Structure 1
Amino acid sequence: MSVLPLVFTSGWASGVNAYAVVLLLGLFGVTGVSDDVPRALQRPEVLIVAGVLFLCEAAADKVPYVDSVWDSVHTVIRPVAGAWVGALLAGHSGSYSEVTAALIGGSTALASHSVKAGTRMAVNASPEPFSNIALSIGEDLGVGALVSFALFHPRAAAVVAAVLLVAGLATLFFLVSRIRRFLRRRAQRREERGLASRVL
């Protein structure tokens, strides 16, 4: 069976929370829940580092503006993690080119990371902090559920990940266009106020 669906899903999930993906896959492998997890992800030091960084992300991700700074730092980290996990999965299964799997995992992670970072910037415009917390919890639960589902039903999980990615990109496009319109109107109002003050 091709490992491509699992690579695609893990790439999408890595773009949202790479540390959760590595930690979950590693734990599934160590506990014997799945035989599809590469040994490299089951190493104790990998699990410890992934666990600590997951806790750091869980905290940073729920604080307005701190989450956007965290996302900026992870613009490179998440796609690299998606590519690394994809290559490991392909090499472990022996059914897909590691280079191709790395490209798919990395590019999918970059796309989903862009959706996450852009959505967070839009949400940070809201004055209350609860939307950040709700969004962060939803993302963590979604990643956990989809990665778990992907190990046993990779094709179905890949379809869900594709739908989420397309929906996320469409939402991001809508939010960006609205934010641009809002900024243009605000700049126009400032100019009008400036002209009015000069006249007075």
Structure 2
Amino acid sequence: MESLTALVFSSGWASGVNAYATVAVLGLIDRLSDTSTIPDALARTDVLVISLVMFAIEFVVDKVPVADSVWDAVSTVVRPTVGAFVAYQFAGDTGGVDQAFLTALGGGTALASHGVKSGIRLAVNTSPEPFSNGIVSTAEDVGVITVVALAVNHPWVALSVSASLLIAGILTVIVLWRVIRKAWRRRRSTTA
């Protein structure tokens, strides 16, 4: 149960950043290796095709300022739901309370990391140059793929990485929004 909790937390964090990449990576790992850790439902052909197509769409949309924020707004429902679904799949037949706890942990972690991602991306979109959005988006994609791959074989290491990234992300959102608010106030005072 303990390593399952670490796996669920990590996959929940990853789902909150990029749900489709999370499902695709888990499904591909299950298909390409003989791990029994990943539920077979994530490696079904239809699930893999849909997750890969949606990941490709998100990969492009997520690099475009403003379009990424619209995508994030729509994903406010999708990402936590996928995080909870993946956690539920991992929980399998663990039983009522454990299954409910793991499902809530996956969905809750996905919601938290989605909030961090959305907050950071809104702040990055205020930047006048066009490159930071693509850089941040690519870093997110690499982070999700790395954490998910790590979670399958080293769930505790993945938990440490994803928890650290979540905490760092929360602190980054706080700092960025303070800086942006100061800049807005300064701008208002100079135009008034």
Which residues of structure 1 form unaligned runs of 5+? 193-200
Q: Take 1:121 and 1:112, find their aligned partners in 2: how far apart are those partners?
A: 14
1:123 aligns with 2:121: no
Q: Take 2:166 and 2:35, find their aligned partners in 1: how far apart are those partners?
A: 26
Indicate the residue corresponding to 1:136 in structure 2.
Answer: 137
One-letter amino acid of the counterpart of residue 166, structure 2: L
Indicate the residue corresponding to 2:21 in structure 1.
Answer: 20
Indicate the residue corresponding to 2:156 in structure 1.
Answer: 155
Indicate the residue corresponding to 1:82 in structure 2.
Answer: 83
CA contact (8 A) 1:83 1:103 kept: yes
Report the TM-score, using the length of structure 2 for normalisation.
0.94
Q: Deviations over 1:126-184 (max 9, x none)?
A: 12211111111111111111110111010111011111100100010111112222222
Q: Take 1:127 and 1:177, find their aligned partners in 2: how far apart are those partners?
A: 18
Q: Take 2:31 and 2:73, find their aligned partners in 1: how far apart are those partners?
A: 32
SS in 1 for 2:169: helix
Indicate the residue corresponding to 2:190 in structure 1.
Answer: 189
CA contact (8 A) 1:91 1:97 kept: no
Indicate the residue corresponding to 2:49 in structure 1.
Answer: 48
One-letter amino acid of the counterpart of residue 30, structure 1: R
SS in 1 for 2:127: coil
Indicate the residue corresponding to 1:146 in structure 2.
Answer: 147
1:175 aligns with 2:188: no
One-letter amino acid of the counterpart of residue 65, structure 2: P
Q: Take 1:17 and 1:136, find their aligned partners in 2: how far apart are those partners?
A: 10
Q: Take 1:188 and 1:110, find their aligned partners in 2: how far apart are those partners?
A: 36
Deviation at 1:32, TM superposition (A): 2.6
Deviation at 1:120, TM superposition (A): 0.8
* Structure showing greater Rg: 1
SS in 1 for 2:92: helix
One-letter amino acid of the counterpart of residue 77, structure 1: V
CA contact (8 A) 1:88 1:98 kept: no
Q: Take 1:50 and 1:5, find their aligned partners in 2: how far apart are those partners?
A: 23
Q: 1:189 to 1:156 in 2, by over 3 A?
A: same
Deviation at 1:33, TM superposition (A): 4.2
Instruction: Give the alignment's Cα RMSD to 1 decimal.
Output: 1.4
1:103-114 equivalences under 5 Å are: 103-114=104-115
One-letter amino acid of the counterpart of residue 72, structure 2: D
CA contact (8 A) 1:9 1:147 kept: yes
Deviation at 1:40, TM superposition (A): 1.1
Q: Deviations over 1:69-115 (max 9, x none)?
A: 111110111011111101110116x3882211111111111111111
Q: Take 1:22 and 1:188, find their aligned partners in 2: how far apart are those partners?
A: 48
Number of residues of Structure 1 aligned to a counterpart in Structure 2: 190
Report the TM-score, using the length of structure 1 for normalisation.
0.90
One-letter amino acid of the counterpart of residue 50, structure 1: S
Q: Take 2:99 and 2:184, find their aligned partners in 1: how far apart are those partners?
A: 44
Deviation at 1:189, TM superposition (A): 3.0
Q: Take 2:35 and 2:18, find their aligned partners in 1: how far apart are those partners?
A: 21
Quick one: percent identity of the two aligned structures?
Answer: 48
SS in 1 for 2:126: coil
